[in-house]
Amino acid sequence: MRLDKFLKVSRVIKRRALAKEVCDRGQVTVNGRAAKAGTEIKLDDTLVISFGNRTLKIKILSVKENVPAKMAAGLYEVLEDDRTFRDENELL
């Protein structure tokens, strides 16, 4: 399955067009390598997605074409979810 489609089906990113943009900007890696939207993903691949002040690292547990929203989170396991917040003093 294409990376952008997986990100959409799994609800990691809500829209496929946005998933494609994020991939094409180099904000996603698959197994440590920069990945484009068309990169094929498979079971046990590790994805790192960086957007804004958040970095999400997930492991793919299942690859399915369509899943109900309630089951989408079962397609992956969150390994890390880092959020960095700027201190107000850093801006001065």
pLDDT in tens, 5-64: 999 999 999 999 999 999 999 999 999 999 999 999 999 999 999 988 899 999 999 999
CATH, domain 3-84, list 1.10.260.40, 3.10.290.10, 3.40.190.10, 3.40.50.20: 3.10.290.10
Is residue 85 pLDDT above 80, yes or no?
A: no
- Cα distance between residue 56 and residue 73, in whole Å: 13
Contact 31, 79 (CB under 8 A): no
What is the dihedral angle through the alpha carbons of 19, 22, 79, 46, rounded to the nearest 10 degrees?
80
pLDDT at 88: 53
Phi/psi region, residue 26 (left: phi>0; alpha: psi -120 to 50; beta: rest), is left
| Residue labelled with tokens 């829209």 | 15
